[in-house]
Chains A and B, each alone.
Chain A
């Protein structure tokens, strides 16, 4: 049996002494499409950020592809899609330039981009339906198109595992469909997916397992639960109280 793609065992995370995750264990095996569900502030984003080493664990352990996080170096096997595009400092960047960043994990810092890199960027943009926007500044795109740009950036590295943080939050219907298609193709090619979502929408048929996080613990791990209450209504209005942003460091954007 092969090692799990992601394995979090008894993970504990706290911000400033306030526990966000308490004793959480999660295993994702190759080929699975796992959705992490939960209310805002439940700790679901923290769970996947901890799995990627973006948030330090105060206790417990993380293994990626069978290697402890501290010694893990094969980052090209992972494609990460953050919740939204950083605002940046106002220096324009084209869609193509942002997506090209996705090749760095494969290419390394020193090697200049070659033909394989350009082809992978083009293929990734085609997969999310943005091939005609390559030369446009990302700032001129809609929220959904920016989200698709970030997914293309992750796909450009040809990863085995996609980790997505709320990929469908605030995304228009056309982008959600384009995104579901791209994800379906990725899964059909044998890819593994771990995604955080508030609601699944057109992704629902793709999900093989759902994990529900509630108050820092996992309260459900199994089939996708049926939507309940007002969430079951097709067009209910979502109000997302986003948590305060982390303090911006001097050298961070």
Chain B
């Protein structure tokens, strides 16, 4: 534990905990919309921002926030116009993003170690300024996701109904896109571009094994994210493993444990009550 006396380890832990809370709070909406991999896509775009930041000697995290936000807004506008070409446009954006990032990092004075820090995370090199950025943006995302839960739930659950309710659907969609970009960029320092989606999605997947409602899923997912981030940093510090990978592997391990336990519990209950729950009524309409 004495490792946590060092300020860089304290910063790593605080940064990881903030991201562990904020990422699932956003991720639950992405899971609900079946957009679990969008984080990966925006992460690719953010990499171009990192490259630009390194090349221009500006804060890579801040430049990445700006570039990823622009990318996310582009994706949302493509989606809102929505036809088949959107798929292709997204592919162009994603691969263009990662190729641009690799090229710009190569052009700058940065080494491949710098690039790796963003690809796979580098919690222990978080500077005090980085931590402030992570804290401000992470808290902003978390509070927004919690405060706007009824409206965001409505939009993600049934977009047409939300429109007939007079909700500002386009604004809420853009807000979600921007929040995704911001979360991806700050999570990039913790788990890296290639592992970002894990922290947004896996705690939600774990929580919904045992929860019954949206609010309880969100609460449980945030608790699980907090646990994975905290224990991941601790494992990384004591066993000297990569922090990002440790956090993600712990999140996936929790998923396996909870999924198996939930399945076992359901089997036990079914055996205890042989009648079980009544089967759903048969449909009167034959779908062809």
Q: A residues near B, CB below 8 A?
A: 52-54, 73-76, 78, 80, 82, 85-86, 88-94, 96-98, 100-105, 107, 109-110, 112-113, 135-137, 140-144, 153, 157, 163, 169-172, 237-242, 247-253
Q: Is the CB of B212 within 8 A of A169?
A: no
Q: A89-B32, A251-B35 are in contact. Are A97 and B164 (CB under 8 A)?
A: no
Q: Report if B55 contacts A (CB, 8 A).
A: no
For residue A100, which residues in chain B have a CB less than 8 angstroms away from its CB? 150
For residue A247, which residues in chain B have a CB less than 8 angstroms away from its CB? 82-84
For residue B214, which residues in chain A have a CB less than 8 angstroms away from its CB? 91-94, 97
Question: What 10 A-B pairs come out closest when comparing CB atoms?
Answer: A75-B166, A94-B213, A170-B285, A80-B164, A105-B165, A249-B82, A250-B79, A101-B154, A89-B32, A109-B151
B213 in complex: contacting residue of A80, A88, A137, A141, CB < 8 Å? A137
Other than A91-B31, A238-B285, give 14 A-B pairs with Cβ distance below 8 A. Answer: A80-B160, A89-B36, A90-B32, A91-B214, A91-B217, A94-B212, A101-B162, A105-B166, A141-B280, A143-B283, A240-B285, A242-B288, A251-B79, A253-B156
Q: Is the CB of A253 within 8 A of B159?
A: yes
Which single residue of chain A is at the shortest CB-CB distance from B89?
Answer: A250
For residue B28, which residues in chain A have a CB less than 8 angstroms away from its CB? 91
Q: Is the CB of A250 within 8 A of B90?
A: yes
Per the bound structure, the CA–CA distance linking A75 and B217 in Å amounts to: 30
Q: Is the CB of B158 within 8 A of A85?
A: yes
> Inter-chain contact count A-B, CB under 8 Å?
169
Per the bound structure, the CA–CA distance linking A13 and B83 in Å amounts to: 18
Q: Is the CB of B208 within 8 A of A101?
A: no
For residue A92, which residues in chain B have a CB less than 8 angstroms away from its CB? 208, 211-214, 217
For residue A242, which residues in chain B have a CB less than 8 angstroms away from its CB? 287-288
Which single residue of chain B is at the shortest CB-CB distance from A169?
Answer: B285
A53 in complex: contacting residue of B148, B163, B215, CB < 8 Å? B163
Q: Is the CB of A170 within 8 A of B161?
A: no
For residue A104, which residues in chain B have a CB less than 8 angstroms away from its CB? 150-151, 154, 162, 165, 167
A76 in complex: contacting residue of B80, B154, B166, B285, CB < 8 Å? B166
For residue B78, which residues in chain A have a CB less than 8 angstroms away from its CB? 250
For residue A251, which residues in chain B have a CB less than 8 angstroms away from its CB? 33, 35, 75-76, 79-80, 173, 176-177
For residue A144, which residues in chain B have a CB less than 8 angstroms away from its CB? 281
Chain B interface helix/strand/loop/mixed: helix
Per the bound structure, the CA–CA distance linking A137 and B90 in Å amounts to: 34
For residue A172, which residues in chain B have a CB less than 8 angstroms away from its CB? 281, 284
For residue A82, which residues in chain B have a CB less than 8 angstroms away from its CB? 158, 160-161
Which single residue of chain B is at the shortest CB-CB distance from A143?
Answer: B283
Query: Which of B90, B157, B172, B283 has most A Cβ within 10 Å?
Result: B157
Q: Report if B8 contacts A (CB, 8 A).
A: no
Per the bound structure, the CA–CA distance linking A96 and B84 in Å amounts to: 36
Q: Is the CB of B90 within 8 A of A80?
A: no
For residue A238, which residues in chain B have a CB less than 8 angstroms away from its CB? 284-286
Q: Report if B271 contacts A (CB, 8 A).
A: no
Within residues 137 to 177 of chain B, which ones have a CB less than 8 A from any CB in chain A? 147-148, 150-151, 153-154, 156-168, 172-173, 176-177
Q: A101-B153, A137-B213 are in contact. Are A109 and B33 (CB under 8 A)?
A: no
Q: Is the CB of A91 within 8 A of B32?
A: yes
Q: Report if B61 contacts A (CB, 8 A).
A: no
Would you give the shortest CB distance from B123 to chain A, in whole angstroms? 29
Q: Report if B267 contacts A (CB, 8 A).
A: no
Would you give the shortest CB distance from A48 to chain B, in whole angstroms? 11
Q: Is the CB of A113 within 8 A of B150?
A: yes
